[in-house]
Amino acid sequence: MDLILPYIATLAIFFFVYNILTWGLNIQFGYAGVLDFTFITFVACGAYFSGVFALGPGQKSTGFEWILGLSWPFPIALVMGALAAGLLGIVIGLIAVNRLRSDYMAIVTLATGTVIYGLVSNYTPLFDGFDGLAGLQTPFSQWLNINYNQFTYLWVGFCAVVMVICWFIAQRILNSPLGRTMRAIREDQEAAEAFGKDSFRVRLIAMSMGAVLAGVGGALLMGFIGAFNPAGWTSGETFVVWAALIVGGRGNNWGGVVGSFVVAVLVNEATRYIPPIPGNATLIPTVRNMLIGASLIAVLWLRPEGIIPEARRRFYQLPLLPGRRTPAEGMGSAGS
Amino acid sequence: MPGADAFLRVEHLSHSFGGFKAVDDCTFEIARGSISALIGPNGAGKSTAVGLIAGALKVQSGRVFFDGQEVTRLPAYKMARRGLLRTYQVSREFPLLTVMENLLVPPPDQRGESLLNALFRPSVGRRQDAALASRAVDVLETYGLLPLRDEYAGNLSGGEKRLLELARAEMANPKFMLLDEPMAGINPALIARLDGHIRRLRDQSGITFLLVEHNLDVVERICDQVVVMASGRTLAEGSMAELRQNPEVVRAYLGGGLDERAVG
């Protein structure tokens, strides 16, 4: 019991965090069709900035240096991390979404992310370079006297609360006229522009809101682990989130839940606790990546729209003005 | 000078793709409240001209006046906001949106499209949607598409997609519709319905129309004014009856079509 419960709690935290991440990518790609191949950069942005807002000042003499170091309470640091990621989303959006489409957009996001990765891991005054941030006190420890296991359970609850807030953000955008316009732009950007939709502005909103959720997820990871460095956000991590979204089903947030459970929790995180096989240290990580790739291929072959496809919006869900008669069924259909 | 009654005026418009001059010093004007046609052989530059007017292509040289104002090089979405609506040679429905949703996208000034309203005041968008949906029901009924309202637009037949394009266009409340081959690939019965809708929109809502059209029967039946393009230039302007007397036009384009009709 002493081992199983914390293990399950840890998986629950990863599940909740990956839910938030897949919803974020869903806003960018599933709603608005933005091919963001550097999603993990926004996660890292949230983790780093929540870290430097919550950590004490870094000191060059001790070998730890980073910007800010304000020792703010973690919930506020989390909000700052999310905002920083949202701003970065706008910046990368300005570069990638403006004038570029589909594959070009994807390549530019990837390239921009690589530039940022190189900068952050080599320029130590920012986030201590390749060593990264470390030594974050467990959040809430200044108010509560709890041991590490108790903190894990507390963090499950905190992540759940944050996740519910993120769910409402994602759902409200999806079900609003803004979400409808995003989906129209995803389907046919040029046609949407011919109806007066400023596709650049709308895609920038999608990019930025997706990045905010990514930043929230990153901050939750930072708070849980207490450390973050470039080894944790290699570009391969982006594709774990992508695989989760494609496998689960894009364009709806339940698909994101299923995908993050199957891909991110069952395959990616649960297998991290299997002890390495002696003499074959890299076997498990390799099999893990193969499983993710195989699940992606299987879904694209057998059920390309994902396990849970985008829901069709039925008209009776739309409220009619009072006094409006119900449209008669069974009228003659249009010609041809 | 642009005539006071010209809704659209194109002056010395030129556009090349690489070395190829698709539109070459093209000038014409379209009268307010008219249904006009732009005809010409394949490769005459009609669709390029449409793209230039609608802002989908950047004008390289020449000027465009729309509703009394210069609009040269305005991007497509700004042209749309000024009341221009264009359709494409192929239907450009939003395939994974339902027919109903396809009609709810075009209306301008949707307050629910603001992020703050979407996040914090969803009722704003819902209330406006209710009014728009109510109107969309009327429009769908007019076009006979109401039973298909919950179908994915991508699943409609070719003819139904053409009707949807026009229904969607009507929802945008435009002043000017620029239709690129709206009758392409549909059967004669549906053509009659479509041109009926076009005339109704002109008469009821005062919308000015410019149609790129190859079907000269349709042009003859509903268009007041015809612009003929060939090799990127305006060859002639006038009514169909006048153009038939124009030997240059007959040589460039009308020849075959006229002979066929004379025989048939």
| Position with higher pLDDT, B106 vs A327 | B106
Residues from chain B contacting residue A310 (CB–CB below 8 Å): 96
pLDDT at A322 over 60: no
Confidence at residue A332, expressed as pLDDT on a 0 to 100 scale: 36
pLDDT at B258 over 50: no
Verify whether the Cβ–Cβ distance B131 to A321 is below 8 Å: yes
Query: What ipTM was reported for this prediction?
Result: 0.89
Residue A22 to residue A242: CA distance in whole angstroms = 8
pLDDT at B264 over 50: no
**Residue A311 per-residue DSSP state:** P
Instruction: Supply the DSSP string of B68-135, one letter for each residue.
Output: TEE-TT--HHHHHHTTEEEE-SS----TTSBHHHHHHSS-S--GGGSHHHHHH-HHHHHHHHHHHHHH
Q: How many CA atoms lie within 13 A of A158 on its CB side?
A: 20
Verify whether the Cβ–Cβ distance A195 to B80 is below 8 Å: yes
| % of chain B beyond a pLDDT of 70 | 94
Q: Which long-range contacts (CB under 8 A, 24 or more apart) does B213-216 make?
A: B213/B37, B213/B38, B213/B39, B213/B181, B213/B182, B213/B183, B214/B39, B214/B181, B214/B184, B215/B183, B215/B191, B216/B39, B216/B240, B216/B254, B216/B257, B216/B261
Confidence at residue B172, expressed as pLDDT on a 0 to 100 scale: 94
pLDDT at A49 over 70: yes
Instruction: Supply the DSSP string of A73-119, one letter for each residue.
Output: -HHHHHHHHHHHHHHHHHHHHHHHTSS--HHHHHHHHHHHHHHHHHH
Verify whether the Cβ–Cβ distance A177 to B113 is below 8 Å: yes
- Picking from B115, B155, B195 by the largest number of A CB atoms within 10 A of its own CB, the best residue to mutate is B115
pTM: 0.89
pLDDT at A320 over 60: no
Confidence at residue A272, expressed as pLDDT on a 0 to 100 scale: 76
Of A198, A318, A330, which has the smallest distance from its Cβ to B133's Cβ? A318
Residues from chain A contacting residue B134 (CB–CB below 8 Å): 320-321, 324
Query: What digits encode the pLDDT tens for the residues A141-189?
Result: 778 888 888 899 999 999 999 999 999 999 999 999 999 999 999 999 9
pLDDT band at A245 (very low <50, low <70, confident <90, very high): very high
Q: How many other C-beta atoms can be found within 10 angstroms of the C-beta atom of residue A122?
A: 11
Verify whether the Cβ–Cβ distance A188 to B189 is below 8 Å: no
- Picking from A199, A207, A336 by the largest number of B CB atoms within 10 A of its own CB, the best residue to mutate is A336
pLDDT at A317 over 80: no
The residue of chain B with its CA nearest to that of A178 is B113
pLDDT at B256 over 80: no
Confidence at residue A24, expressed as pLDDT on a 0 to 100 scale: 97
| Position with higher pLDDT, B58 vs A326 | B58
CA distance A296 to chain B (A): 22
Q: Mark which residues 201-230 of A lie under 8 Å from B by CB.
A: 202, 205, 209
E strand or H helix at A255, and its extent?
Answer: helix A253-259
Cross-strand pairs, B85: B177
| % of chain B beyond a pLDDT of 90 | 67
CA distance B122 to chain A (A): 7
Average pLDDT over residues B121-128: 93
**Residue A271 per-residue DSSP state:** G
CA distance B248 to chain A (A): 35
Residue with tokens 């929802």, as numbered in its chain: B171
Query: What digits encode the pLDDT tens for the residues B161-194?
Result: 999 999 999 999 999 999 999 888 888 888 989 9
E strand or H helix at A4, and its extent?
Answer: helix A4-25
pLDDT band at B261 (very low <50, low <70, confident <90, very high): very low
Residue with tokens 């249009």, as numbered in its chain: A334
Verify whether the Cβ–Cβ distance A315 to B98 is below 8 Å: yes
Verify whether the Cβ–Cβ distance B94 to A183 is below 8 Å: yes
Which of A128, A25, A39 is closest to A88 using CA atoms?
A: A39
Residue A120 to residue A218: CA distance in whole angstroms = 16
Residue A69 to residue A75: CA distance in whole angstroms = 15
CB-based contact B207:B174 (threshold 8 Å)? yes
- A208 Rama sector, left if φ>0, alpha if ψ -120 to 50, beta otherwise: alpha
CA distance B249 to chain A (A): 32
Region of poorest pLDDT, from A1-5, A138-142, B189-193: A1-5
Residues from chain A contacting residue B168 (CB–CB below 8 Å): 195
In chain B, alpha helices (H): 46-54, 76-81, 99-104, 115-120, 122-143, 158-171, 188-205, 216-222, 240-244, 247-249, 255-263
Question: Does A317 lie at the interface with B, CB-CB under 8 angstroms?
Answer: no
